[in-house]
Amino acid sequence: MSEAPPPAPRGTASAAEPGGRVPGGPLPGAPLPGAPLPGGPLPGGTVPGRRRRPRSRWRAAFFVLAGLAIVAGSGWALLGNRLLVVRSVTVTGTHLLIPGQVIVAADVPPGTPLLRVDAGAVTRRVEAIPQVASATVTKDWPDRLVIAVTERVPVMAVRMAGGGYDLVDQTGVIVRWAKAQPAGLPLLQTSLPGAALRGSAEVAAAAGVLAELSPWLAGQVTAVRATQAAQGTEQVTLNLRDGKTVQWGSTGDAAQKNRELAILLPGGAHQVDVSVPGSAVTRLRRERARIFADIRHDTRAASRVAS
């Protein structure tokens, strides 16, 4: 009896069994060693046939809810929380007024939520005070309102028929009333009533000329008058402390007019006319005979011609 041949080692070729199976090899359809089983997890832990549930929708929903919560919390903190309300009102820049007058005009009750304060409306109410030229309203969180005021500055005094003086700014607004004319404030010689001063061309011309004067000359002016000329412009006349008179004319050419007056006023002229820049006219007064002699001055040539 012959012995059966020993089995072939794995990895060596051998005769195929019926059905194509190699002796010692895997059965047909069986998974290879190391290959994933059908329906089992793939490398990395994923299971074939199943999709990952998208997380973007949850993230979007989370951020929307968080945003709504922030908005609601902010609204409650600013409108409902009693910590963020007006507890004090600070006023700066007042000299003619007292802060209490500004606070009353502002009309912002204590306890008003700071977010609800309309700064523009408060500004308009404060600027309605005659002495106020402009105002700025600022919210100083968490509980303070700051009102910065710029007051009007009187530049002329107007003698009133009933006594005293109305002190007006450059636009004719009456800033305040005074029993006596303040020192250093020129008298505006006008026939206009107090109610007609605001926006008057006469007041604007007089104030414009006063603003053009050199400091050394402005300190000598005791009165100012503006009259309408034939060409429709206002001609301004200045009365000085020493009794001299300056015919300034209209506004403009201030630098040249100031230079001419610096030369001519120290002399004996009683009246100086610089309304035509470059050709000044002086008038001398003789007290006994009261005779006026006109002397024309051409400042550009620095010569005098008697007329």
pLDDT score at 129 = 96
pLDDT score at 93 = 96
Residue 102: pLDDT over 60: yes
Residue 92: pLDDT over 70: yes
Residue recorded with tokens 């999709």: 51
pLDDT score at 229 = 76
Average pLDDT over residues 112-135: 95
Residue 81's alpha-carbon distances to 75, 90, 119, 139, 184, in angstroms, are 9, 22, 20, 17, 54
- Rounded Cα gap, residues 122 and 120, in angstroms: 5
Average pLDDT over residues 192-213: 92
Which residue did the predictor score with more confidence, 187 or 21? 187
Q: Are 248 and 236 in contact (CB under 8 A)?
A: yes
pLDDT score at 23 = 56
For the chain, what is the radius of gyration of the CA atoms?
48
Residue 300: pLDDT over 90: no
Among 78-87, 112-121, 147-156, which stretch is predicted with the lowest mean pLDDT? 78-87
Q: Max Cα separation, the chain?
A: 181
Q: How confident is the model at residue 158 (pLDDT cuts 50, 70, 90)?
A: very high
Q: How confident is the model at residue 287 (pLDDT cuts 50, 70, 90)?
A: very low
| Length of the chain as a residue count | 307
Average pLDDT over residues 84-103: 95
Q: Are 103 and 149 in contact (CB under 8 A)?
A: no
Percent of the chain with pLDDT over 90: 55
Average pLDDT over residues 81-108: 93
pLDDT score at 205 = 94
Q: How confident is the model at residue 288 (pLDDT cuts 50, 70, 90)?
A: very low
Domains of the chain by range and CATH? 88-151 (3.10.20.310), 156-306 (3.40.50)
* Element of type H or E holding 240: strand 234-240
pLDDT score at 257 = 95
pLDDT tens for 23-76 read 555 555 555 555 555 555 555 555 555 555 566 777 777 778 888 878 766 666
pLDDT score at 295 = 44
pLDDT score at 286 = 55
Q: Which residues contact 135 (CB under 8 A, 6 or more apart)?
A: 102, 123, 126, 127, 147, 148, 149, 150
Which residue did the predictor score with more confidence, 179 or 42? 179
Q: How confident is the model at residue 80 (pLDDT cuts 50, 70, 90)?
A: low
- Rounded Cα gap, residues 235 and 208, in angstroms: 11
Task: Name all contacts of 287-290 with Cβ < 8 Å and 24+ positions apart.
Answer: none
pLDDT score at 277 = 87
Arithmetic mean of pLDDT over the chain: 81
Number of Cβ atoms within 10 Å of the Cβ of 259? 14
Q: Are 230 and 175 in contact (CB under 8 A)?
A: no
Number of Cβ atoms within 10 Å of the Cβ of 181? 18
Of 242, 241, 225, 237, nearest in space to 285 by CA: 242
Percent of the chain with pLDDT over 70: 70
Residue 137: pLDDT over 60: yes
Among 35-39, 83-87, 275-279, which stretch is predicted with the lowest mean pLDDT? 35-39
Average pLDDT over residues 284-307: 46
Phi, then psi, of 177 in degrees rounded to 5: -110, 145
pLDDT score at 232 = 66
- Rounded Cα gap, residues 184 and 221, in angstroms: 8
